[in-house]
Chain A
């Protein structure tokens, strides 16, 4: 059995749940802040029969946009934490002083093995991109404000670049020169 697949599977459970819960929480949050009238209706034409209903298109777009923003922020925060962890993991490999600093700021427990971090980071990035794709597609249908989709796209691109940079540095630590393993 592959060792990577169970790691990906277990790493995907939390962001998948977060994606759903944050969307629902986002809708509830916007409803409570704005005090909009809303309701639930059953529609057997869709996969899930319950739909959230608003009196006007403007209200529906507004709630959808801000709930998507809330969800993207949470996914980006999760990815950011993993990026932070992987950055310090890499830095600690290269410089022992970093470990001392991490102990000083009580961040040592944040470190974990690269074999654990990188599959998780990849999974979280995938969910961030999925959220971005959903935002972009809904923006094209005028269901989400375009600035939210652009912000999600820019965040995803930056985080992907940072992740690839961190993974590349980690690979350089393992394979410093000429593609041979360091002793």
Chain B
């Protein structure tokens, strides 16, 4: 009986070998992974800069906002959110039905390469039927249509040139509250 039991244990014990090998592997791997994760890090320079009026990114493309309000449209603030990206907060005062516009910013490409500004938008506090467009050299880019659909226009920047970017806000009915939206501009 005991012999039979010992033989059975001996037969099944060989199945433990892979588990032992795995256990050894884990015992070697865990300290190394822990060691790499315990490697101290340092605080990198802050890239999130609040409320800048103008800035130049690492690719030498400067974005300068228009400080003047016109037709109830003003740039509330601009925030640098990354090396090549900014967020422009636009505010509009209560207004009658119609189209209103103002210059938002000027982008200057000081490099000898072609650059592109990709503009994405976020609308949280705006009348539902508002149509928002960007105007660059008389070309109109629709950013938000009256049905709420948003589009991310790409503005082409020639080498050593600058463009003025205007915003046009259209409403079919009067807007009786202060509305606003943000534009994320990324230089590519």
Contacts and interface: CB of A to CB of B under 8 A. Distances in A.
Contacts of A138: 39
Interface stretch (A15-23, A92-100, A171-179): A15-23
Contacts of B33: 47-48
B16 to A, nearest CB: 5
A55 B43 contact: yes
Contacts of B34: 19-20, 23, 48
A181 interface: no
Contact of A20 (B17, B23, B35, B40): B35
Size class of A's contact patch?
35 or more
SS of A interface (majority)? helix
Contacts of A16: 27-28, 30-31
Interface string B25-66: 001101111111111111100000000000000000000000
Interface residues of B, number: 24
A8 to B, nearest CB: 6
B13 interface: yes
Contacts of A24: 38
A20 B36 CA distance: 10
B20 A2 contact: yes
B42 A60 contact: yes
Contacts of B28: 12, 16, 126-127, 130
Contacts of B1: none
A19 B35 CA distance: 8
A53 B42 CA distance: 5
A64 B24 contact: no
